[in-house]
């Protein structure tokens, strides 16, 4: 399926209004192998926009289970597209994230699942992250 049509379908199936910026953002995320920061997005966007609009779109994508947050090397947030199974408000992306020390990109390792951990009594779990650092595929010497 063409990426533009896919982006439209994602908006439609989540009941989100179709705007140029949302369509463009989704296409950028779908075309990227790694997670993106707000700065990355700003660089890639062609249509005019302001930061508030970008943040608002990111929030609604996150709430609707379209994007999830991932860490970056500086402790800031990046975003990556969810696997197709994320329902609204409950992210099920329980996979590990990999930060490359060479290119500083964050990758979703969809096939590396976070192991189940038992919490101590009295603690309520809201989110969990599992981050590994190293050298990514692209940066390995051939």
Asked whether position 7 contacts Zn ion by CB under 5 A, the answer is no
- Candidates 25, 86, 98, 107; binder of Zn ion (CB under 5 A) is 86
Closest to Zn ion by CB, 7 vs 86, is 86
- Which span (20-28, 48-56, 83-91, 122-130) binds Zn ion, by CB under 5 A? 83-91
- Candidates 47, 102, 134, 140; binder of Zn ion (CB under 5 A) is 102
Token duo for residue 77: 């947030």
Beta carbon of residue 142, minimum distance to Zn ion (angstroms, whole number): 13
Asked whether position 139 contacts Zn ion by CB under 5 A, the answer is yes
The pattern of x and - marking residues 31 through 70 that bind Zn ion according to CB under 5 A reads: -------------------------------------x--
24 vs 7: CA distance, rounded Å: 8
Closest to Zn ion by CB, 50 vs 103, is 103
Compute how many other C-beta atoms are within 10 angstroms of the C-beta atom of residue 35: 24
- Tracing tokens 């919490």 back to the chain, one arrives at 119
Cα-Cα-Cα-Cα dihedral sign, residues 124, 80, 33, 9: positive
- The 10 Å CB-count burial string (b at 16+, else e) for 114-138 is eeeeeeeeeeeeeeeebeeeeebee
61 vs 88: CA distance, rounded Å: 10
Beta carbon of residue 101, minimum distance to Zn ion (angstroms, whole number): 8
Residues that bind Zn ion (CB under 5 A): 68, 80, 82, 86, 91, 93, 100, 102-103, 108, 136, 139
């Amino acid at each position: 399926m063409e990426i533009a049509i896919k982006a439209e379908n994602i908006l439609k199936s989540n009941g989100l209004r179709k705007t140029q910026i949302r369509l463009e953002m989704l296409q950028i995320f779908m075309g990227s192998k790694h997670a993106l920061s707000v700065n990355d997005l700003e660089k890639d966007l062609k249509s005019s926009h302001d930061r508030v609009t970008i943040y608002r779109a990111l929030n609604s994508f996150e709430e609707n289970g379209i994007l999830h947050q991932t860490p970056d090397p500086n402790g800031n947030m990046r975003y990556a597209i969810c696997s197709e199974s994320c329902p609204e408000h409950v992210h099920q992306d329980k996979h590990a994230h990999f930060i490359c020390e060479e290119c500083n990109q964050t990758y979703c390792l969809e096939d590396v699942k976070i192991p189940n951990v038992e919490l101590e009594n009295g603690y309520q779990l809201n989110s969990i992250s599992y981050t590994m650092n190293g050298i990514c595929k692209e940066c390995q010497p051939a």
